[in-house]
Structure 1
Amino acid sequence: MDFILELLLSAFIVIAGFFSLVGSFGLLKLPDVMTRLHAPTKATTLGVGGILIASILYNLLAHGGVSVHELAITLFLFITAPITANFIAKAHMHLERKKVQDTLPDPAGKKIGWSTYDTPHRQTEG
């Protein structure tokens, strides 16, 4: 392979490793669930995606073909990571709902909706 292509692949791997490291560090060090959720879904997805793209490029340039397995892994990763983050965030909001309802003032005597950003005129009875 050409030196420029090897340099490009090396850059992909180093940048992807940096994103994976930052995502892993954020998962360990951030204080609560919603901030910890952001680190692996964004940074680590970019990290693993960068490694997979580098691997796809290497197979394309060195062996002359694209690996279907790597394309499938990349597609699966980029589809499932945001969906999983959405499910975790919704579950966290649902579990925290009772705590929020107990702490928010309710001056009109109405029930507070599922969102913590409901305004008094948009709340519904129920």
Structure 2
Amino acid sequence: MRLALDLFTVLAVSAGAFFFLAGTVGLLRFPDVLTRLHALTKADNLGLGLIVLGLLPRAEGPLAALKLLAVWLFALLAAATVAQLVARVALRRNGRSPGGSAAG
């Protein structure tokens, strides 16, 4: 059983690290702010979720597991809020309103 938990932890954390790397590549390679933002937030949220999932079997108790989940949920909330703010500023600088129509 211990070997299975070790394998699960290694696979989940490795997959999470892969998604962080993919998000970073998207941030560097995509052409505009909105596509970069989309790639980064989606990949980072999934990557952090997989890392937390991989670390849950290693938690010392229910309180430690709850703390890991709380960190993940707060990171999701923060990423969504920051992405909304960055997208709004990017759209305003390009002369478009957040609703999609031309500002005028």
Give TM-score, length-normalised by structure 2: 0.81
Cα 1:116–1:69 shift into 2, 3 Å: closer
In 2, Cα distance between equivalents of 1:72 and 1:116: 34
> 1:65 matched to which residue of 2?
62
In 2, Cα distance between equivalents of 1:45 and 1:83: 13
> 1:76 matched to which residue of 2?
74
Cα RMSD after superposing both structures: 2.1
Q: Report 1:37-116 matches (<5 A).
A: 37-59=37-59, 63-67=60-64, 68-97=66-95, 114=97, 115-116=99-100
Aligned residues: 101
Task: Report the alpha carbon displacement of residue 57 of structure 1 after superposing the two structures with TM.
Answer: 2.4
In 1, Cα distance between equivalents of 2:75 and 2:6: 25
Could you list the runs of 4 or more consecutive aligned residues of structure 1 that deviate by over 2 angstroms after TM superposition? 63-66, 114-118
Larger radius of gyration: 1
In 2, Cα distance between equivalents of 1:12 and 1:18: 10
Task: Report the alpha carbon displacement of residue 117 of structure 1 after superposing the two structures with TM.
Answer: 4.5
In 1, Cα distance between equivalents of 2:3 and 2:13: 15
In 1, Cα distance between equivalents of 2:63 and 2:28: 35
Q: Kindly indicate which of the two structures has a greater share of residues assigned to helix.
A: 2
1:5 aligns with 2:22: no
Task: Report the alpha carbon displacement of residue 46 of structure 1 after superposing the two structures with TM.
Answer: 1.1
Unaligned ranges ≥5, structure 1: 101-113, 119-125
> Does structure 1 conserve the Cα–Cα contact (< 8 Å) formed by 2:5 and 2:57?
no
